[in-house]
Amino acid sequence: MELPDFMSYANKFSQSEFVEKISRIAKRAGAKLVYAALILFYTLQSDQISAKDKAIIIGALGYLISPLDVVPDAIPIVGLGDDLAVLVYVLKKVWTDVDPTIKERAREKLSKWFDEDEISEIDTILD
């Protein structure tokens, strides 16, 4: 799958819309997508990340929030696949700079929507 120009979605990002969207789609989206989104969201709030990395994170989260993307989210099964691809792509770019406490915070937040079996799927997020 070819990635869309997710940077053009940077102006779509807002904290409140991110929280609302994740809360609304969490169970349907799956633990991997939610975990990737939460890590990027929490990393964005860190002062230990470069401005360049913050820009690509904002683009990816804006893409997630936007109702206008390559594959509309309403399409069952594949609708969130492009969103996951964008989030994982950006997560791979910033992974080495993600503080372990952010990873743990995101994992803890997953328990709000997922059981332990579903949460164990995140162990292969970068595969």
Give pLDDT tens digits for 114-123.
999 999 999 9
Number of Cα atoms under 13 Å in the Cβ half of residue 14: 5
Predicted TM-score (pTM) of the model is: 0.86
Instruction: Name the maximum alpha-carbon separation found in the chain.
Output: 37
The pLDDT tens digits for 35-79 are 999 999 999 999 999 999 999 999 999 999 887 765 665 555 566
